Amino acid sequence: MNRQQGTARRLDGTVSVITGASSGIGRAVAQTLADQGTAVALVARRAERIEALAAELRTRGGHAEVFAADITDEPGESLLGRIVDRMGRLDTLVNAAGVMLIGPAAEAPLREWRRTVDLNVTALLELTHAALPHLRKAAQTSPRSVADIVNISSVAGRSAYGGAAVYSASKFAVTAFSEALRQELGREHIRVSAVEPGAVNTEITDHIRDGMRQTNQAWYASMETLQAHDVADAVGYIVTRPRHVAVAELRMLPTEQT
């Protein structure tokens, strides 16, 4: 028996792209994966935040590059081309960018629905499509002989909730896409995983419209929520599994969430 088969594998010599890296889960994932030895490409709209994060990671001995972009605006092929041109390869894609604009459907501005679908679904699909040729190459040339896509979904992608119709729809799409893609790509040693957290203490509730925001934040305050690094730990676990182990889906909740 190969003693290495069941052990975690560090990410030295690889490149990881993390979207939504300016805050919350994306930021925590970048920190966690950089500590595992990967070079990280930080993608977000807020350039000053990812510049500060890159500086922090470099002081800790990491390799981080900044790619300021709105992934709902810049085509995925263009963005991935910029990243690979500068960093040389792509081994792991973490689609962490997302928005949660919730409230009763009849009262919702359509611009919120469009924003939700554009960011949570369309941008994720386009970026993943653009990444596939690079991930195929990485699976053949990587020190780990495997490549990874990790999509941050939600428990709302498994159970629909009143007041979150379009958000739930977007996360159902992410979870379904992840599983179908996993089945297509597994034989090529490209692993596809969906992480489905419950309530996480991040900025995501700040963007909910007035009235609903206060109600939602009060619900978060009623329990000990997950922290961004709890979700990042899950992502770190997934991508450091040995080549023959794929975590298709990981659902995680605050202990108190029902």
For residue range 122-156, what is the model confidence (pLDDT) as tens digits?
A: 999 999 999 999 999 999 998 899 999 999 999 99
Phi, psi of 6 (to 5 degrees): -95, 10
The tokens of 46 are what? Answer: 């807020």
For domain 15-252, give its CATH number from 3.90.550.10, 3.40.1440.60, 3.40.1210.10, 3.40.50.720. Answer: 3.40.50.720
Render pLDDT for 162-221 as a digit per residue (tens, 0 to 9). Answer: 888 999 999 999 999 999 999 999 999 999 999 999 999 887 777 777 777 777 777 678
pTM, 2 dp: 0.93
pLDDT at 112: 94
Q: Average model confidence (pLDDT) for the chain?
A: 93
* Choice among 161, 167, 220, 237 that is catalytic: 167
- Catalytic residue list contains 237: no
User: 2: pLDDT confidence band, cut at 50, 70 and 90?
Assistant: very low
pLDDT at 221: 80
List the chain domain ranges: 15-252
Share of the chain above pLDDT 70, in %: 96
Q: How far, in Å, CA of 84 to CA of 33, rounded?
A: 18
